Amino acid sequence: MSYLRNLMFAVGGSFALIASAQAAQEIEMHEVDAQGVGDSIGTVKIEDTQYGLLVTPDLTGLSPGAHGFHVHENANCEPLELNGQQTAAAAAGGHYAPDQAGTHQGPYGQGHLGDLPILMVDEEGGATTPVLAPRLKVSDLENRAVVVHEGGDTYFDHPKLGGGGSRIACGTLGK
Ligand SMILES: [Cu+2]
Ligand SMILES: [Zn+2]
């Protein structure tokens, strides 16, 4: 009888763990431009850890160097017309900020929750170096987009939104 009770506790405990930390998810990333969503360039794996969200890219076909990397508010990578110009992945909206934070401060600041550490691309155009976003969880990325920008990221509001400029790759996570 006590064996059975211990077993019940063990099973209940496992469910509690599953509820607090979601399973790892993979987000398929696609090239984007003003015409629409293009070919896949690989995946970004996201998983919860005790230090925050671990983001592990496996991407190819990017330009070498630092790229702005953010969670954007809508799970939509289509272009939209902004100020009379078709704009790549504009349907993804702005940087994810559920508390309406109006400032871009990077992953370690108090601004947009969706501000990830920069994505580093090697000389061959690949990105495989994991980054850690201490304020995020897998569940925060449900129904959102992950976006890679053409330029880097200052983690400040200037230049505009860290200076990344155009959106060059995008992927979405459903619910
Ligand atoms: Cu962005
Ligand atoms: Zn931001």
> Mind listing the pLDDT tens digit of every residue in the chain (175 residues)?
455 555 555 555 555 555 567 899 999 999 999 999 999 999 999 999 999 999 999 999 999 999 999 999 999 999 999 999 999 999 999 999 999 999 999 999 999 999 999 999 999 999 999 999 999 999 999 999 999 999 999 999 999 999 999 999 999 998 7
Ion ligand 2 neighbours (CB, 5 A) are 95, 104, 112, 115
Distance 91 CA to ligand 2 centre (A): 16
Distance 17 CA to ligand 2 centre (A): 31
Distance 103 CA to ligand 1 centre (A): 13
Distance 140 CA to ligand 1 centre (A): 16
For 82-115, give the secondary structure using H, E and C.
Answer: ECCEEECCHHHCCECCCCCCCCCCCCCCCCCCCE
pLDDT value at residue 153: 98
E-strand ranges in the chain read: 25-33, 36-49, 52-59, 65-67, 69-72, 80-82, 85-87, 119-121, 131-133, 144-149, 167-173
In angstroms, rounded to a whole number, what is the distance separating the alpha carbons of residues 115 and 104?
Answer: 7
pLDDT value at residue 14: 52
Token readout for 102 is 């109006």
Distance 51 CA to ligand 1 centre (A): 23
User: How many separate domains does the chain show?
Assistant: 1
What pTM, to 2 d.p., does this model score? 0.88
Under 8 Å between Cβ of 94 and 73: yes
Under 8 Å between Cβ of 130 and 139: no
Which one of the ligands is nearest to 69 CA? 1
Ion ligand 1 neighbours (CB, 5 A) are 70, 147
Closest by alpha carbon to 161, among 99, 64, 96? 96
Token readout for 172 is 């979405």
Which one of the ligands is nearest to 160 CA? 2
| H helix or E strand, kind and range, residue 17 | helix 2-20
- Containing structural domain, residue 130: 2-173
Alpha-carbon Rg for the chain in angstroms: 18
The domain that holds 6 is classified in CATH as 2.60.40.200
